[in-house]
Chains A and B, each alone.
Chain A
Amino acid sequence: MDLNFSAEDIAFRDEVRAFIRDSYPAHLNGKIDEGEELSKEDFLSWHKVLAAKGWIAPAWPTEYGGTGWTSVQRYIWSEETARADAIRLMPFGLSMVGPVIYTFGTPEQKAKFLPRILSGDDWWCQGYSEPGAGSDLANLRTKAERFTGEDGKEYYRVNGQKTWTTLAQHADWGFFLVRTDPTVKAQEGISFLLIDMKTPGITVRPIITLGGEHEVNEVWLEDVIVPVENRVFHENKGWTCAKFLLAHERTGIAGVAASKRGVERIKNIARAELDEGEMLLANPFFKRKIAELEVDLSALEFTELRTLAGESSGKGPGPESSLLKIKGTEIQQRITELALEAAGHYGAPYYRGFGEGDNEHPIGPDYTHRTAPTYFNVRKTSIYGGSNEIQRNIIAKMVLGL
């Protein structure tokens, strides 16, 4: 057991650090610090830099375009990108549908989709949740009926409604869970379809969330025609892909490196804010909350490192990753709570963004502008990706055998 990086790891860290310093798009600087909403172009500008370098998908097998990094190198990568306040990458292609396609897809699907996920040419969205299928995802109703077209080829006709579809307004493609057999047990009649979002019959409608953002959408599907070759894995076996994807989604979800930067940001706010004539960070009650947050974050970091060590010795991401999801999201939420608390009165002014042509500075110090919207927005983390209550069900069943 050893906490020190090897000479090779230190050289790698220096290489990564220099690359980020030299190549991170300048127009993105400060966007994380101020909690700015990011445009499609923002997301893609960093994505394309990494794609050009070949560093866009460290977790993928090398044969599909992964970097072949060790778990320690991947840890260094996430630390360094967080340290530089680099924006996050959209997970829908890289962390979700990509691994499903290279694990379950046909050679044709791999050849068609994987390169465009890596390059950023295709923006993906996730068609999972429905109005009647949240935590009880298997209860989904969107149906896909198979038929033979006039051209003699096989198709699905898809009808239904998806919801909470993140950034579907930008999406070129979506991966959808649909019901292909309504007569069997819920989990056994689901298929996993890749749908071109330009297909006639798809309507994307915005849902505005508590922070005022347009981040999620309703997606309506009316007689959407999908070729059968866009189905991943067997018909009615989509639940296997869905479960695989959820476990994959959960491993990165702890967000330790980003939370460390989040704690640093709150401490900076609390050094700038005054309380009884002293910096807020000197208030023993506030300071105690920071201390407890840091302690919990250390415990989470070493839990993640233990999990990574287990993965590098051959264990895939298992149900233990539910622990990382629960504790990681709780910490993310506490960070936004404390930032808002530190902002004091200036959490209240409604911030509309500092748009083109604005010549008046928004109300209050810069670091307060998005504390309330961010706090409101981050309530999502304990709900999405399988709510934290569902994660407890998973641990109870899969780890504790209850």
Chain B
Amino acid sequence: MDFNTTDEQSMLRDTVARYLADTYSFDNRMKTVHSGKGWNPAVWKAFAEELGILGAPFSEAHGGLGGGAVENMIVMEEIGRALVIEPYLPTVVIAGGALKATGGALAEAVIPEIIAGNAIIAFAYAEPQGRYNLADLRTTAKRDGAGYVLNGHKSVVYSAPYATHMLVTARTGGSQREAAGVSLFLIPANTKGVVRRDYPTVDGSAASEVYFENASIGADCLIGAEGESFPLLEQIVDEATAAVCAEACGVTRVLHATTLDYAKQRKQFGKAIGEFQVIQHRLVDMFMEVEQAVSITLMATLKLDTAERGQAVSAAKAKVGKAAKFVGQNAVQIHGGIGISNELAVGHYFKRSTMIESQFGSVDHHLRRYEKLAID
């Protein structure tokens, strides 16, 4: 049992943190957000070429850094701290995770492209009726000659407007919420019959409603065995959920630090508001929430390859979701009026922390899943 990071892991954290501190200021981020493109390709190029972090969780044989879940946690926490909107999560953690888990020709071809920064992959898994049930799929992939034809509607696909590929869940069999019959495909984003309605999200990113209208894809787009990918889907979503928890740790750490700093500066009734015990105790409660979020995220990350993966991840997301709400709401409250203006960074951290609350499942969803997996 060991909770220390290796020298390589510490270096990875320092490298990412230094780059983001130097180049990813709040003003620069907001320029990208206001550009309407949803990302800054120059940042992505730097991630690939200057920092090499797009290879963090991949093997050295693929040109990666030979890391795994802990490396993803480290990068995602820094992404949270700087409120990065570029698509490390869907491209590296999720699509990369699926390819790593399955291997084969597709993995051999695409992983080096991810590491090089050429492949940008959006994760099209949610559907309007499905809420957080990964198996609740109406999107179908029907056999058609050598390939498949996709039909269906995917909800709120982050990064889809600028992605080169999409990782898509679709039914090749089974009924609407059945685990059997779920398949995973990695398709080119410009496939004919893939129709997007693009829009900005409240937390600064870009997303799309994605419609498949008789979109023909090759058999080589299939990841894993046809109709048997539900366990793989659960695994990569658990990995993604742990990564989002790590992002939330970064976001809430900044929310707390910013608010603490503000409470020491802001004067009312002739003294800093941080001198009032009611504010002090609120800031302590926020501090405790952040520390516990960090702790349980570590637990989930370290249990990703154990039999307790599902219950550990759901425990973490439930705890982190509550922490994100508590810390975000109180950060705004302690800032007072200025906390609700769009000009300060704190409000934008609050927006991201709020979206994280429900990303890959709300607190209620994960408590219910925890109950199913852990309590009988």
Q: Are A402 and B367 in contact (CB under 8 A)?
A: no
Total interface residues in chain B, CB < 8 Å: 41
Q: How far is the CA of A303 from the CA of B319 in the complex (A)?
A: 13
Closest Cβ neighbor of B6 among chain A residues? A1
In the complex, chain B residues whose CB is within 8 Å of the CB of A267: 375
Of B285, B293, B296, B319, most buried by chain A (CB within 10 Å of CB) is B296
Closest Cβ neighbor of A9 among chain B residues? B1
Q: Are B1 and A288 in contact (CB under 8 A)?
A: no
Select A288's contact among B9, B294, B315, B371, beta carbons within 8 Å.
B371
Closest Cβ neighbor of A3 among chain B residues? B302
Q: How far is the CA of A306 from the CA of B303 in the complex (A)?
A: 16
Interface string of B281-293 (1 = CB under 8 A from A): 1011101100111
Q: How far is the CA of A295 from the CA of B291 in the complex (A)?
A: 14
Q: Are B288 and A309 in contact (CB under 8 A)?
A: no
In the complex, chain A residues whose CB is within 8 Å of the CB of B287: 323, 395, 399-400
Q: How far is the CA of A54 from the CA of B205 in the complex (A)?
A: 61
Total interface residues in chain A, CB < 8 Å: 42
Q: Are B298 and A306 in contact (CB under 8 A)?
A: yes
In the complex, chain A residues whose CB is within 8 Å of the CB of B371: 287-288, 290-291
Interface string of A389-402 (1 = CB under 8 A from B): 10011011001111
In the complex, chain B residues whose CB is within 8 Å of the CB of A9: 1
Q: Are A1 and B288 in contact (CB under 8 A)?
A: no
Q: Are B280 and A402 in contact (CB under 8 A)?
A: yes
Q: How far is the CA of A9 from the CA of B1 in the complex (A)?
A: 9
Select B374's contact among A3, A294, A300, beta carbons within 8 Å.
A294
Q: How far is the CA of A305 from the CA of B284 in the complex (A)?
A: 20
Residue B233 at the chain A interface, CB threshold 8 Å: no
In the complex, chain A residues whose CB is within 8 Å of the CB of B285: 392
Residue B115 at the chain A interface, CB threshold 8 Å: no
Residue A327 at the chain B interface, CB threshold 8 Å: yes
Residue B190 at the chain A interface, CB threshold 8 Å: no
Residue B295 at the chain A interface, CB threshold 8 Å: yes
Interface string of A17-61 (1 = CB under 8 A from B): 000000000000000000000000000000000000000000000
Residue A313 at the chain B interface, CB threshold 8 Å: yes
In the complex, chain B residues whose CB is within 8 Å of the CB of A402: 260, 263-264, 274-275, 280, 283
Residue A228 at the chain B interface, CB threshold 8 Å: no
Of A296, A320, A393, A402, most buried by chain B (CB within 10 Å of CB) is A402
**Contacts A294-B315, A294-B374, A298-B299 given; does A323 touch B260 at CB 8 Å:** no
Shortest Cβ gap from A32 to chain B (Å): 22
In the complex, chain A residues whose CB is within 8 Å of the CB of B291: 303, 320, 323
Shortest Cβ gap from A349 to chain B (Å): 29
Q: Are B296 and A2 in contact (CB under 8 A)?
A: no
Shortest Cβ gap from A397 to chain B (Å): 8
Residue A281 at the chain B interface, CB threshold 8 Å: yes
Q: Which of A59-113 contact B (CB under 8 A)?
A: 72, 75
Q: Are A298 and B1 in contact (CB under 8 A)?
A: no
In the complex, chain A residues whose CB is within 8 Å of the CB of B294: 306
Q: How far is the CA of A402 from the CA of B274 in the complex (A)?
A: 6
Q: How far is the CA of A292 from the CA of B260 in the complex (A)?
A: 28
Closest Cβ neighbor of B256 among chain A residues? A400
**Contacts A2-B1, A309-B3, A402-B263 given; does A392 touch B280 at CB 8 Å:** yes
Residue A4 at the chain B interface, CB threshold 8 Å: yes
Closest Cβ neighbor of A320 among chain B residues? B291
Shortest Cβ gap from B320 to chain A (Å): 9
Q: How far is the CA of A306 from the CA of B249 in the complex (A)?
A: 15
In the complex, chain B residues whose CB is within 8 Å of the CB of A392: 280-281, 284-285
Interface string of B255-275 (1 = CB under 8 A from A): 000001001100000000011
In the complex, chain A residues whose CB is within 8 Å of the CB of B284: 392, 395-396, 400
Residue A208 at the chain B interface, CB threshold 8 Å: no
Residue A384 at the chain B interface, CB threshold 8 Å: no
Shortest Cβ gap from B271 to chain A (Å): 12
In the complex, chain A residues whose CB is within 8 Å of the CB of B292: 296, 299-300, 303, 327
In the complex, chain A residues whose CB is within 8 Å of the CB of B315: 294-295, 298-299
Q: How far is the CA of A180 from the CA of B376 in the complex (A)?
A: 59
Q: How far is the CA of A402 from the CA of B262 in the complex (A)?
A: 11
In the complex, chain A residues whose CB is within 8 Å of the CB of B281: 389, 392, 396
Q: Are A291 and B280 in contact (CB under 8 A)?
A: no
In the complex, chain B residues whose CB is within 8 Å of the CB of A302: 295-296, 298-299
In the complex, chain B residues whose CB is within 8 Å of the CB of A281: 375-376
Residue A354 at the chain B interface, CB threshold 8 Å: no
Q: Are A2 and B302 in contact (CB under 8 A)?
A: yes
Closest Cβ neighbor of B293 among chain A residues? A299
In the complex, chain A residues whose CB is within 8 Å of the CB of B35: none
In the complex, chain A residues whose CB is within 8 Å of the CB of B274: 402
Closest Cβ neighbor of A397 among chain B residues? B280
Q: Are B70 and A1 in contact (CB under 8 A)?
A: yes
Q: How far is the CA of A22 from the CA of B371 in the complex (A)?
A: 36
Residue A140 at the chain B interface, CB threshold 8 Å: no
Q: How far is the CA of A296 from the CA of B318 in the complex (A)?
A: 10
Residue A350 at the chain B interface, CB threshold 8 Å: no
Which 8 pairs from chain A and chain B are nearest by CB? A302-B295, A309-B3, A396-B280, A299-B292, A299-B296, A303-B295, A392-B284, A3-B302
- Please report B residues at the A interface, Cβ cutoff 8 Å: 1-5, 9, 70, 260, 263-264, 274-275, 277, 280-281, 283-285, 287-288, 291-296, 298-299, 302-303, 306, 312, 315, 318-319, 367, 370-371, 374-376
| 11 chain-A/chain-B pairs, Cβ below 8 angstroms | A1-B2, A3-B303, A281-B375, A291-B371, A296-B319, A298-B319, A303-B291, A323-B288, A392-B284, A395-B288, A396-B280
Extra contacts besides A287-B371, A288-B367, A299-B315 (13): CB < 8 Å: A3-B306, A281-B375, A281-B376, A291-B318, A291-B370, A294-B374, A299-B299, A300-B292, A303-B295, A306-B294, A323-B291, A396-B277, A402-B274
